[in-house]
Structure 1
Amino acid sequence: MDLSRGKLMLASFLTLVASGIGFATRTAAGGPWEREFDIGGGQFGVILGAGFLGFGLMIFFGGILVEKFGYKPLLVLAFVLHLISAGMLFAANPLFEGWREADPSTATDKVFNLLFWSAFIFSICQGLYEAVINPLIAQIYPENKTHYLNILHAGWPAGMIIGGLFAAGFIGADAWFIELPWQWALSSFAIVVLAYGVMVLPEKLPETVGESSGNFGNVFSCFASIPFLVLIVLHALIGYMELGVDSWMTKLMENFLPNSVLILVYTSFLMFILRFFAGPIVHKVNPIGLLLGSSVIACLGLIWLGSPIQSVAMIFVAATFYSFGKAFLWPTMLGVAGERYPQSGSVAMGALGAAGMLCVGQIAGPRIGAQQGYAMSENLQQTAPETFERYAEPDPISSWGYEYRPLDPARLNAANRTELVNGTPKNVDAVREADLIPADVKPILIANAEKDFKNVQDSYLAGGRRALTLTSYVPGMMAIGFLGLLIYYRSIGGYKVIKLDGHEEEHDAAGDDEELMGQTGPVEY
């Protein structure tokens, strides 16, 4: 069968662009959903978490399904489900109006369930795409897997850039240009989905490793390898650091940058450039050494971001350093799985992806949030105890080993939303307009706003910095793990690429970059 692998690469790239756009725009939907459906921060967080859970589960099980049924059926399923997810967004408002007329007390819960399942279905599609495209690209570029997987995964930050800028310009009351109906903004990913569908769905795709070998059970052999089990743990830590920090970066920098979404757009832009254009460098170096060096740089970058930086310029310098550390980690790990365990096909890559995504959704997100909340409350209690008593919840909570009195979300939100001029709030409208702040409390907050708002914002920033500093321990642990793997591979003669026939060759001899970069024409499978 003749098929342009350049066309397959582009189509696979677009699936990650669509995923990035959907992720970035959904994170900006909290305000519109709160205004239209009365969905609070807790419910909004649950909706966001649904994406990570479905993504992580489907990457792993999707890998098994790919080896059993092939690439094409799963791509078709993901294509259909993605469009259904977009359609559910457009159904939210008319359904909510009907539910509110029938029973106002249940309307919010019902629309929450609809949005939850829309996000979950979207995440299932993301998992299916990853389960297909990672082994597919590794299969059609067997000579240069790590290089092309880095190019492929430039699609995620590309989508984050597009979605982040779109969110800043058109979503929410503070949109730069004009506020569009949130349904149109959040479903914009469907345009990219249709584009990749037109490109690839009519084509016949190559057989998977499991289909071509005739031995389905062999694809699970990677789990008998201790180094592979170590890779699973390390990839979980990569997910914790990279996507966990990305999920929280905008919130953690909220009181330090004029528009904190810019830091996410900027780091995504750097990741795109590094992954897309630095592939030849990745191919020429030992991937385990690259992962070790990247972990050290990411660790230092997070320590720098968590330090008491006083200028916006230095924030971006520190973010640049951190981006150089995290850029190559995820796709290079997938490249290692493809090069060392080719007989396991999509199952090996799916296991790594599942470990990373499940760690984000079930550990990183809530743990980073608990660390930030604890450090913020502790800082405010120590530096401004009177302000703390006015803003803290009466009862302590326990989360991830931290026991503390959290700040009341409505009061914290009001203080954070208020612009300060030389430390003085411009107005107190955010307190007056907050429906969830009791009427008898509002006069007290307004009377003390001049000193309280700055104290709260300073403590919020201190909490964010502390969370970033604590997260720096994660790439530190990764560095130790990669150093162990580096020592192990040297003890067995060095890191080598394993072919399907069992033949081994040196990593830098696995392909010629100048030759491969030009191979975008028809390829025989």
Structure 2
Amino acid sequence: MQINRTQLFRASCLSLLVTSLSFGIRAGTLNDFGSLFQLDKTQLAAITATAFYGFPIAVVLGGFVVDIIGMKRLLVLAFLFHLAGILLTVFATGYWTLYISTLLIGIANGTVEAACNPLVTALYSDNKTTKLNHFHLWFPGGIVIGSLLVFGINALHLTWDLKYILQFKIGLMLIPTVIYGYLFSKLNFPVTERVASGVSTGGMYKALLNPLFIFMFICMFGTAITELFTGQWIDVLLKNVSDNAILLLTLETGVMVLGRGLAKPVLKMFPPEVVLLISTILASIGIYMLSTVSGPALYAAAIIFGMGVCYFWPTMLGFVNQNMPKTGAIGLNLMGGAGMFAVSLYTIVMGHYYDDIVKAANGNNLTAGPKILQATLVIPLVLIVAFGGLVLYMRAKNKSKPLQQVAV
């Protein structure tokens, strides 16, 4: 059976593009949906959160079954969930249809990662972390494309009814969805790396008890919240601080695309744990600036924040798979599930907090966004300490081993 890894990788990137378009386009339409259906921030937060807990449900379940049913069948399911979720959003009539459609898209997004993360490591076992970064650059890439599409459509000042404008924006996601579904249906897939290497199912589950894996699993809560909550809610959080909040998201994610594209030279200069430490420091500076500055300085803050979070997700996955390969697909998918589950809970809590701030200020929401960003700043500050300890641990561990070249 011939495996065309280049075509499989390209199709994987396209499926992740759909995942990220759902974030970028929704981030740019969140307030409009609120206006159309008279939804408050608590309701918008609940809708947004469904994507984040639909994702971990799918990615964790997918991690348990991917070795059994194969990556191709999982990606067929992802296509069907994406198709159903997008169509239901297009024809949404209020809170519950938006809630269910967002849940379906979250399940689709999680299913994509459940299959594609182990697919990438199986295709490129010689440089996992680099290729995971290249694959995951399509997440911020799709957010850039989606945000620019929303911004461009808004700039046209269409005289259509708001409902039809939103339907047009969401419907654009159908194009790459149909293409990736067709591509995957035509390609042959390899088995997962864990199956190919002969590691037993029991050995995979035993590897999950490694204290280092548990540590990284917990840290994934913080890296995911820092990156995804801030990005998904930037239009809401900075709406009253900047007239171009969605452009800030585009700038931040554009920096992420560039950074992940340059992952190979960066990972040659620094090991993954050092990259994570530097990233956390930059992310902390970026969030602090976003919560305190105004005017042109906000663009500098977005650039610094983008530099900080660009390596978080793929490098966390790459570190685990590189240093604990026996954890296999379930290890990768538990990491992704942990991150998205944390974001879902945090989004709900912050949605309530946002409304409480506004109520306490008698309807004045000028300070609500910055206050939420300042509360979120605590998370990367804690991660600086955690990843500082990881750097020291890995240096001590590597000194006790014979010198060898490690593929990243």
Structure 2 counterparts to residues 170-209 of structure 1, below 5 A: 170=153, 176-178=156-158, 179=160, 180-209=164-193
Instruction: Work out whether 1:366 is the aligned partner of 2:348.
Output: yes
Q: What letter corresponds to residue 250 of structure 2 in structure 1?
A: V
Query: In 1, distance between residues paired with 2:175 and 2:403?
Result: 42
Instruction: Work out whether 1:116 is the aligned partner of 2:13.
Output: no
CA contact (8 A) 2:28 2:235 kept: no
CA contact (8 A) 1:67 1:345 kept: no
Secondary structure at the counterpart of residue 201 of structure 1: helix
Structure 2 counterparts to residues 350-365 of structure 1, below 5 A: 350-363=333-346, 365=347
Between Structure 1 and Structure 2, which shows a larger proportion of strand residues?
A: 1
Could you say if the C-alpha distance between residues 28 and 295 of structure 1 is closer, same or farther in structure 2, counting changes exceeding 3 Å?
closer
Secondary structure at the counterpart of residue 241 of structure 2: coil
TM-score between the two structures when normalised by the length of structure 1: 0.72
CA contact (8 A) 2:75 2:115 kept: yes
Query: In 2, distance between residues paired with 1:30 and 1:300?
Result: 27
Per-residue CA distance 1:350-381 (angstroms, 9 max, x = gap): 11111110110012x1344455555x55xxxx
C-alpha displacement of 1:3: 2.3
Instruction: Work out whether 1:262 is the aligned partner of 2:247.
Output: yes
Per-residue CA distance 1:316-345 (angstroms, 9 max, x = gap): 112211211111111101101110122222
Per-residue CA distance 1:46-69 (angstroms, 9 max, x = gap): 222211110122112211111222
Query: In 2, distance between residues paired with 1:119 and 1:183?
Result: 14
Question: 2:132 — aligned with what?
Answer: 149
Structure 2 counterparts to residues 209-248 of structure 1, below 5 A: 209-212=193-196, 213=198, 215-248=200-233
Could you say if the C-alpha distance between residues 296 and 3 of structure 1 is closer, same or farther in structure 2, counting changes exceeding 3 Å?
same
TM-score between the two structures when normalised by the length of structure 2: 0.91
Secondary structure at the counterpart of residue 194 of structure 1: helix
C-alpha displacement of 1:198: 2.3
Could you say if the C-alpha distance between residues 366 and 32 of structure 1 is closer, same or farther in structure 2, counting changes exceeding 3 Å?
closer
CA contact (8 A) 2:280 2:380 kept: yes
Query: In 1, distance between residues paired with 2:229 and 2:34?
Result: 24
Question: 1:99 — aligned with what?
Answer: none
Question: 1:318 — aligned with what?
Answer: 301
Question: 1:440 — aligned with what?
Answer: none
CA contact (8 A) 1:85 1:119 kept: yes
Structure 2 counterparts to residues 21-420 of structure 1, below 5 A: 21-30=21-30, 33=33, 37-92=37-92, 111-170=94-153, 176-178=156-158, 179=160, 180-212=164-196, 213=198, 215-307=200-292, 309-310=293-294, 312-363=295-346, 365-370=347-352, 372=354, 376=357, 392=359, 405=360, 407=362, 412=363
Consecutive unaligned residues in structure 1, runs of 5 or more: 97-110, 378-391, 393-404, 413-455, 497-503, 512-525
CA contact (8 A) 1:135 1:345 kept: yes
Identity %: 27
Per-residue CA distance 1:149-191 (angstroms, 9 max, x = gap): 1111111111111111222233xxx654425532232132121
Could you say if the C-alpha distance between residues 296 and 371 of structure 1 is closer, same or farther in structure 2, counting changes exceeding 3 Å?
farther
CA RMSD of aligned residues (A): 2.4
CA contact (8 A) 2:27 2:233 kept: no
- The structure number with the bigger radius of gyration is 1
Secondary structure at the counterpart of residue 306 of structure 1: helix
Could you say if the C-alpha distance between residues 303 and 89 of structure 1 is closer, same or farther in structure 2, counting changes exceeding 3 Å?
closer
Query: In 2, distance between residues paired with 1:371 and 1:475?
Result: 20
Of residues 471, 474, 494 in structure 1, which corresponds to 2:376? 471
Query: In 1, distance between residues paired with 2:184 and 2:48?
Result: 29
Query: In 2, distance between residues paired with 1:277 and 1:291?
Result: 15
Query: In 2, distance between residues paired with 1:32 and 1:300?
Result: 31
Consecutive unaligned residues in structure 2, runs of 5 or more: none
Could you say if the C-alpha distance between residues 332 and 481 of structure 1 is closer, same or farther in structure 2, counting changes exceeding 3 Å?
same
Q: What letter corresponds to residue 155 of structure 1 in structure 2?
A: W
Instruction: Work out whether 1:488 is the aligned partner of 2:385.
Output: no
Q: What letter corresponds to residue 127 of structure 1 in structure 2?
A: G
Q: What letter corresponds to residue 167 of structure 2 in structure 1?
A: Q
Query: In 2, distance between residues paired with 1:465 and 1:13?
Result: 34
Query: In 2, distance between residues paired with 1:251 and 1:91?
Result: 24
C-alpha displacement of 1:193: 1.4
C-alpha displacement of 1:493: 2.5
Could you say if the C-alpha distance between residues 486 and 152 of structure 1 is closer, same or farther in structure 2, counting changes exceeding 3 Å?
same
Between Structure 1 and Structure 2, which shows a larger proportion of helix residues?
A: 2
Query: In 2, distance between residues paired with 1:468 and 1:40?
Result: 19
Q: What letter corresponds to residue 287 of structure 2 in structure 1?
A: L
Q: What letter corresponds to residue 163 of structure 1 in structure 2?
A: G
Instruction: Work out whether 1:16 is the aligned partner of 2:21.
Output: no
Aligned length: 403
CA contact (8 A) 1:57 1:127 kept: yes
Structure 2 counterparts to residues 429-440 of structure 1, below 5 A: none
C-alpha displacement of 1:271: 0.5
CA contact (8 A) 2:255 2:306 kept: yes
CA contact (8 A) 1:244 1:368 kept: no
Could you say if the C-alpha distance between residues 223 and 34 of structure 1 is closer, same or farther in structure 2, counting changes exceeding 3 Å?
closer
Per-residue CA distance 1:419-449 (angstroms, 9 max, x = gap): xxxxxxxxxxxxxxxxxxxxxxxxxxxxxxx
Q: What letter corresponds to residue 374 of structure 2 in structure 1?
A: T
Query: In 2, distance between residues paired with 1:22 and 1:248?
Result: 13
C-alpha displacement of 1:204: 1.5
